[in-house]
A and B are shown apart, each in its own frame.
Chain A
Amino acid sequence: MTDSKYFTTTKKGEIFELKAELNSDKKEKKKEAVKKVIASMTVGKDVSALFPDVVNCMQTDNLELKKLVYLYLMNYAKSQPDMAIMAVNTFVKDCEDLNPLIRALAVRTMGCIRVDKITEYLCEPLRKCLKDEDPYVRKTAAVCVAKLHDINAQLVEDQGFLDTLKDLISDSNPMVVANAVAALSEIAESHPNSNLLDLNPQTINKLLTALNECTEWGQIFILDCLANYSPRDDRESQSICERVTPRLSHANSAVVLSAVKVLMKFMEMLPKDLDYYGTLLKKLAPPLVTLLSAEPELQYVALRNINLIVQRRPEILKHEMKVFFVKYNDPIYVKLEKLDIMIRLASQANIAQVLAELKEYATEVDVDFVRKAVRAIGRCAIKVEQSAERCVSTLLDLIQTKVNYVVQEAIVVIKDIFRKYPNKYESVIATLCEHLESLDEPEARAAMIWIVGEYAERIDNADELLESFLEGFHDESTQVQLQLLTAIVKLFLKKPTETQELVQQVLSLATQDSDNPDLRDRGYIYWRLLSTDPVAAKEVVLAEKPLISEETDLIEPTLLEELICHIGTLASVYHKPPSAFVEGSRGVQHKRLTSSAGSGESVESPDTGSAAVSEAPPTVIPSQGDLLGDLLNLDLTPPTSTGPPPTTAPGMQLGAMDLLGGGLDSLLGGDIGGSPAMGTGFGAPPAAMPASFNAPISGGLDDLFDLGGGGGLTMGTYIPPKSVWLPAMKAKGLEISGTFVRRSGVIQMEMTLNNKAMSVMSDFAIQFNRNSFGLAPAGPLQILTPISPNQSIEAALPLSTVGPVMKMEPLNNLQVAVKNNIDVFYFSCQYPISMLFLEDGKMERQVFLATWKDIPNENESQFQIKDCHLNSDAASNKLQGSNIFTIAKRTVEGQDMLYQSMKLTNGIWVLAELRVQAGNPNYTISLKCRAPEVSQCVFQNYETVLKN
């Protein structure tokens, strides 16, 4: 006998017939009728018209029938709210039934009937069920509180259900505890500030006890809840970790991942030199590897999480490369993830094996997988220097296969390899050029064009090659157009005589015939640059590029920390914060790891210390956009940094003259009727640009030059008011007050010397004690005339930072000795640390990311800046005046995160993350620095700058 027969009655008048059957006196017939109704409901027919008849069947002692009626109710109550009231009485009655199954069923169903009118009738039954003697009813009632809260939060709070729910955490039955925790977590998630899950050591202890006894699902609820707790100290962390680690042996992958989440999070609190820390690291690897034998979907979740874990703690899986080798029958999503992790784990020790595997993959048939494998070979070359040669030859082998997409991918990665190892592999260019024709993807075309432009001097027919691309200029994608423009400008600067026509062609294509603003603007920038100062143009366009190095696709450190707190969840699968894909999660606190060394003073353990010293901060392969952006960034640096004056490049001068005299003039001349002013440059905005561009463009250029020119170097610098350093009482009548100023890169000590004595003072001299940053007078104190009584005199003393160094306490303390004809006086003063911030303290975005990650967490310190009423942009501007540069800004949930960097005179970089929440006058600032001692000073400086 099967239920499928219920689906077959589809004749006319069915509803009518069912109605009759539902009202039948015979129990069996009634039940059959309800089944038919449910069957119709299942296939999507509207049977809501039968509502009253079905509800009439509710009062029955047949459990199966009752369940079916309840099911019906859940589906249709919302569309028939008035009639749903009819069901209330039965619910109330069922909640007092002798049979706990029925009590639980009633309380479970009640919560699913999302009709406001009904909910208030349900409070009393729910209250009883929460105290029921049967744990099955209690655990069901616990969940019902969460359901009710979802419908009417106020009601639940008013009725005190939340407190009852909290009490259930101490229930004797582990299932009840688990459901109570789940319900509370759910409620807390929608009310982030409710402090509902007031976790303290006592509740934690209860949870950990229940953890050993409840079902696998309950264990997950509890572990996920534990992950939100912040232990008070490392001992508590350790003891929780110890009690959680046995879960790593659970057969359910989800339990294992939730346990991993708790451990990864609490591990941050543990000092690294602790034995237990090492033990824990070792314990994490085997279960993570075992997750790879789970079902493919679970493998996928595991792999996405392992990807995060490998970035956060590479040491855990560094010996487990082999388990990530791809199997023929792995689903594509597993293959791609494995490949990604393989690259992250690639090192000198295992590179040979990895390359052999990658080569194998590159000959597969799945296009996406093959592409990624080829790209992976390139990434290996960049990551593991020793392997570069083999990687390049492997790539060349692959190019020989002439499989179109393999060739294209190979060219894209070879471009990066060139940038990483200049002057090493350029011999392969000839081979690459052979495949020019077959490139049909923008990224590959752009890469190839870049190569041609960059190495134009080695490619005899570079001009022909580029010209061939130029023919279909307007059909190319922007990426290719931009690259082509830059490449031809490079070519022109390298071989000016032969390529004037070409450069004119591309400039006019870019500026006149294109309506892409990026392309147009870049065209104009090159144009102006070439027409005003070809030498500078050469310096700019052909500037030496910073090397790129290993770490690719790193997740931003704060995001990574947040994702680690979400291990196992969708956020960890998407590698996006929950706020990015969950609606209404506004205001939800971003989870962050809390590290052990809040003080920032703790001594690094030897192993991490040495690692930090030996590893240069990794820079990152810029994506295509950044690579192009580099050129533009160069334009913005002050002119002084663009190198030696033109006279030092006589060879170039010739070409330049030629250019000015002939090429561009005639080029411009075509448009403007030979205006002689055109060639001369900066000062005069172009008189006659093509009409449509005239106003905006010239305005834009002016702005650009304003920035570049000397304008506003000291703009907005905060100068503390003078304070009295040496009171007259202590110095036989000499009073010195002063302050520190940084102007145009020069640090000055500005003093007012006031003679309050009766006699004339003369023969002044000044000397500093050794200090933290080697501040020393750059010259003698210039006070040429004696100071008469009651006279005061201003003196400015330029300072250098090359003096002897000794660490002071506080760090920015300066001990000064001043001598005059009367005596020697000593005083000490404190300079704002921003005096030491260099003007070139703006770090590259990518470098910033890598550095932030590279600096160990113990070096991070966090501070609060209270009562600051600036918005983030104003703050950023203000700070910039003190050479604190904002590198990036990210807005999440109305909270602005500013990433900032500054560089001290002794070369120490300080990285900062400033969080500003609109409407909240309290800023949070996190500072990371390899020399964490400076953090305190830097923070104080932020405070002073922002508040003045």
Chain B
Amino acid sequence: MSASAIFVLDLKGKVLICRNYKGDVNMAEIDHFLPLLMQQEEEGLLCPVLSHGNVHFMWIKHSNLYLVATTNKNSNASLVYSFLYKIVEVFTEYFKELEEESIQDNFVVVYELLDELMDFGFPQTTDSKILQEYITQEGTKLEVAKSKVPTTVTNAVSWRSEGIKYKKNEVFIDVIESINVLVNANGSVMSSDIVGSIKLKTMLSGMPELRLGLNDRVLFALTGRDKGKTVVMEDVKFHQCVRLSRFDSDRTISFIPPDGESELMSYRINTHVKPLIWIESVIEKFSHSRVEIMVKAKGQFKKQSVANNVEVRVPVPSDADSPKFKTSTGTAKYVPEKNMVVWTIKSFPGGKEFLMRAHFGLPSVENNELEGKPPITVKFEIPYFTVSGIQVRYMKIIEKSGYQALPWVRYITQSGDYQLRTNV
């Protein structure tokens, strides 16, 4: 069905740790993995699936590791990749950083986790909070706790344990919207969308039932209320705690939340948004002598709002030298290892316009290598504001002990994949 075995390799292809789940693929096959990968890379045809004979390798790369699943069946590939990323998530929660050293430093726990995460190729319990209840890093401390299976493992509510207690019951709700924009060199917006995410930090006792109310247009239409601004969400994805069939039938978002931090839902909105930070650039390249760059940034959002930590990243040729900058505000810095100028503006009020000029020298002997045309990218964060106008109308919290709990809401808009193509 999915993986026959899972391997963690270092960048040289050496197996750091592995687990054979099904025994139907020779474990030595992994030796073919890295040579195949190198070969593909050389041919410029890199692909997430490699095959050698009848063995297929599905792999991802994380920091200095390759995580590889092998199979000789028609596996569910999407399940395998989801699972590999889940392993990364679980290991990261356990070891803070997932890298070569952390695997070696924790090989006993890694084995234990691999045993619990998957059985005979079927992913099992992969919720790191629940796993941490019975697989812990400090072997000694655990003897008592480990003698019982947390009922959560097999509960219908497999993401929250019973008996959680807080003195003060609170939920923090972060509504974060990322703006993805692709602008053509001639200044026309090719595509733009909003990817929103609602994150929770739950500090609630017991098994609370939560209901989240948004100004969702479909919901408003269903309930016949048409006051105020509403938002059309193109596609909504939920954490497994949300009752999907309930949402499907009456758009109610009801759930028992996982404890602590989690992403409750994400949504996508297709409406055309005006790029919040508009960039106009003139990049002139005089072969063998110099590059002159002029970038104008304009805040196209409300005057009351302020964009923080704005970074405009402008590509420059790899052989450029002797940078000179002039900015009307903020600071510009040349980052040669990434072939770009980063112009940073700590605080960028709406409606304002700023300018940056840069000058680079070019060597008289031209670089023969063809260079791509990387786009200008922009990073920013605008607090207290969502582009879509989405609002949390209420968060109802009901627990059988009847405590009062407070929801806190915070809105942030930030840049997502924000690219403006250039002519050079």
A587 CB, nearest partner CB in chain B, Å: 15
In this assembly, does A825 line the interface, its C-beta being within 8 Å of a C-beta of chain B? no
Of B17, B73, B147, the most chain A CB neighbours within 10 A belong to B73
Asked if B244 is at the interface of the complex by the 8 Å CB criterion, the answer is yes
Interface pair A328/B374, CB less than 8 Å apart: yes
Cβ-closest chain B residue relative to A224:
B76
Q: Which of B46, B108, B371 has the most CB of A within 10 A?
A: B108
Give the segment of A453-461, A531-539, A576-584, A762-770 that binds chain B.
Answer: A576-584
Please give the distance in Å from B368's CB to the nearest CB on chain A. 12
One of A7, A140, A302, A570 near B56 (C-beta < 8 A): A570
Contact residues in B for A570 (Cβ distance below 8 Å): 49, 56, 71, 73-75, 77
The docked-state distance in angstroms from the alpha carbon of A572 to that of B80 is 14
B54 and A333 contact, CB distance less than 8 A = no
On whether the beta carbons of B104 and A38 are closer than 8 Å, the reply is no
Residues of B within 8 A of A325 (CB): 182, 190-191
Contact check, B268 vs A297: say whether CB atoms are below 8 A apart. no
The reply to whether the CB of B402 lies closer than 8 angstroms to some CB of chain A is: no
* B375 in contact with A63 (CB, 8 Å): no
**CB pair A114 B23 closer than 8 Å:** yes
Q: With A182-B1, A368-B45 known to touch, is A217 a contact of B122 (CB < 8 Å)?
A: yes
In the complex, B346 has a CB within 8 A of chain A: no
Is B106 located at the chain interface by the 8 A CB criterion? yes
B268 pairs with A290, CB closer than 8 A: yes
Count of A residues near B, CB < 8 Å?
111
B245 within 8 A of A: yes
Most buried by A among B24, B104, B125: B104
B366 at the interface (CB under 8 A from A): no
- In the complex, per-residue mask of A155-183: 1 if CB is within 8 Å of any chain B CB, else 0: 00000000000000000011110010011
**Residues in A neighbouring B82, C-beta threshold 8 A:** 216, 252-254, 298
Instruction: Assess whether B354 is interfacial by the CB under 8 Å rule.
Output: no
B107 engages A67 (CB within 8 Å): no
Q: Which A residues touch B21, using CB under 8 A?
A: 112
Selected from A220, A249, A360, the residue in CB contact (under 8 A) with B244 is A249
CB <8 Å contact, B48 and A173:
no
- Expressed in whole angstroms, the Cα–Cα distance for A323 and B104 within the complex equals 41
Quick one: given A68-B108, A173-B154, A217-B124, are A254 and B184 in contact (CB under 8 Å)?
no
Q: Could you tell me which residues of chain A, from 314 to 338, have a CB within 8 Å of some CB in chain B?
A: 322-323, 325, 327-329, 331-333
| A364 and B372 form a contact (CB under 8 A) | yes
A residues less than 8 Å from B235 (CB atoms): 249, 286-287, 289-290
A570 to B195, CA, bound (A): 29
Is there contact, CB below 8 Å, between A573 and B77? Answer: yes
- A 354-377 contacts with B by CB, 8 A: 356-357, 360, 363-368
**Contact, CB under 8 Å: A71 / B115:** yes
* B108 lies within 8 A of A327 (CB): no
Contact of B143 among A63, A185, A213, A302 (CB under 8 A): A63
Nearest CB of chain B from residue A893's CB, rounded to whole Å:
14
Which chain B residues border A247 with CB–CB below 8 Å? 244
Which residue of A287, A293, A296, A568 contacts B76 across the interface (Cβ within 8 Å)? A568
- A147 an interface residue at 8 Å Cβ cutoff? yes
Assess whether B44 is in contact with A366, with CB atoms less than 8 Å apart: yes
Contact check, B81 vs A251: say whether CB atoms are below 8 A apart. Answer: no
Q: How far is the CA of A343 from the CA of B373 in the complex (A)?
A: 23
Residues of A within 8 A of B219 (CB): none
In the bound complex, CA of A570 to CA of B107 (Å): 31
User: Across the two chains, which residue of chain A brings its CB closest to B127?
Assistant: A215
Q: How far is the CB of A701 from chain B (nearest CB, A)?
A: 44
Chain A nearest CB: distance from B210 CB in Å?
A: 17
Contact B17 A42 (CB under 8 A): yes
Q: Report the Cα distance A146→B73, complex, angstroms.
A: 15
Evaluate contact between B81 and A295: CB separation under 8 angstroms. Answer: yes
A249 touches B149 (CB 8 A): no
- A2 to B245, alpha carbons, bound, how many Å? 46
- The CA of A185 and the CA of B121, in the complex, are separated in Å by 13
Find residues 204-241 in chain B having any chain A CB closer than 8 Å to their own CB: 234-240
Contacts of A245 in B (CB 8 A): 248
Asked whether any CB of chain A lies closer than 8 Å to the CB of B156, the reply is yes
Tell me which residues across on chain B come within 8 A of A645, comparing CB atoms. none
When chains A and B are docked, how far (Å) is the Cα of A249 from the Cα of B105?
Answer: 38
Contact A296 B48 (CB under 8 A): yes
What range describes how many residues of B lie at the interface?
35 or more
> What residues on B are CB-neighbors of A298 within 8 Å?
78, 81-82, 85
Q: When chains A and B are docked, how far (Å) is the Cα of A289 from the Cα of B78?
A: 15
Contacts of B148 in A (CB 8 A): 99-101
A261 CB → nearest B CB, Å: 9
- Are A140 and B119 in contact, CB atoms less than 8 angstroms apart? yes
Name B343-383 residues within 8 Å CB distance of A. Answer: 370-375
Chain A residues within an 8 Å CB radius of B71: 570
**A220 CB contacts on chain B under 8 angstroms:** 76, 79
Among A131-139, A870-878, A918-926, A939-947, the one that faces the other chain is: A131-139
Interface: A569 (CB within 8 A): yes
Once the chains bind, are A332 and B45 in contact (CB under 8 Å)? Answer: yes
* A498 interface hit (Cβ, 8 Å): no
Indicate if the CB atoms of A215 and B74 lie closer than 8 Å.
no
Which of A39, A100, A147, A573 is the one whose CB lies under 8 Å from B107?
Answer: A39
A246–B248 contact, CB under 8 A? yes
Q: Chain A contacts of B129 at CB under 8 A?
A: none
- Shortest CB-to-CB span from B158 to chain A, Å, is 5
Cross-chain contact A251 with B266 (CB below 8 angstroms): yes
Which residues of B in the span 292-309 have a Cβ within 8 Å of any Cβ on A?
Answer: none
A215-B158, A251-B238 are contacts. A3–B182 as well, Cβ < 8 Å? no
B415 is an interface residue with CB less than 8 A from chain A: no
Could you tell me the distance in whole angstroms from the C-beta of A469 to the nearest C-beta in chain B? 29
Chain B hits for A186, CB < 8 A: 1, 120-121
Q: How far is the CA of A841 from the CA of B156 in the complex (A)?
A: 61
Tell me, yes or no, whether B32 is within 8 Å of chain A by CB: no
Q: Are B74 and A571 in contact (CB under 8 A)?
A: yes
Contact B154 A175 (CB under 8 A): yes
Task: Tell me whether A297 and B153 are in contact in the complex, defined as CB-CB below 8 angstroms, given that A38-B107, A38-B108, A63-B143 are known contacts.
Answer: no
Question: How many angstroms between the C-alpha atoms of A175 and B154 in the bound complex?
Answer: 6
Q: A290-B268, A297-B81, A327-B417 are in contact. Are A212 and B243 (CB under 8 A)?
A: yes
Confirm or deny: A44 has a beta carbon within 8 angstroms of a beta carbon on chain B: yes
Residues from chain A with Cβ under 8 Å of B285 in the complex:
none
In the complex, chain B residues whose CB is within 8 Å of the CB of A114: 23
Contacts of B83 in A (CB 8 A): 217, 254
Smallest CB separation, A430 vs chain B (Å): 29
Please, which residues of chain B bring their CB within 8 A of the CB of A329? 417
Known: A185-B1, A252-B82. Is A175-B372 also a contact (CB below 8 A)? Answer: no
What distance in Å separates the Cβ of B423 from its nearest Cβ neighbour in chain A? 10
A257 within 8 A of B: yes
Is A366 a contact partner of B78 (Cβ separation < 8 A)? no
In angstroms, how far is the closest chain B Cβ from the Cβ of A76? 12
**Please, which residue of chain B has its CB at the minimum distance from the CB of A367?**
B44
State whether the Cβ of B419 lies closer than 8 Å to any Cβ in chain A. yes
Could you show 20 A-B contacts with beta carbons less than 8 Å apart?
A: A64-B142, A136-B153, A175-B153, A215-B126, A216-B126, A287-B235, A297-B48, A300-B48, A301-B48, A322-B190, A325-B182, A327-B182, A332-B44, A333-B47, A333-B48, A360-B184, A365-B372, A365-B373, A569-B74, A573-B77
Q: 16 other contacts beyond A356-B184, A578-B74, with CB at 8 A cut-off? A: A44-B15, A64-B108, A99-B148, A174-B156, A179-B119, A224-B1, A246-B247, A254-B83, A256-B237, A322-B190, A322-B191, A333-B45, A569-B74, A570-B49, A578-B73, A583-B72
Binding site for B on A (CB under 8 A): 2-4, 6-7, 31, 35, 38-39, 42, 44, 62-64, 67-68, 71, 74, 99-101, 104, 108, 111-112, 114, 134-136, 139-140, 143, 146-147, 150, 173-176, 179, 182-183, 185-186, 189, 212-217, 220-221, 224, 243, 245-247, 249-254, 256-258, 286-287, 289-290, 293, 295-298, 300-302, 322-323, 325, 327-329, 331-333, 353, 356-357, 360, 363-368, 566, 568-574, 578, 581-583, 585
User: What are the 6 closest A-B residue pairs judged by CB atoms, nearest first?
Assistant: A286-B235, A2-B105, A246-B244, A578-B74, A246-B248, A217-B123
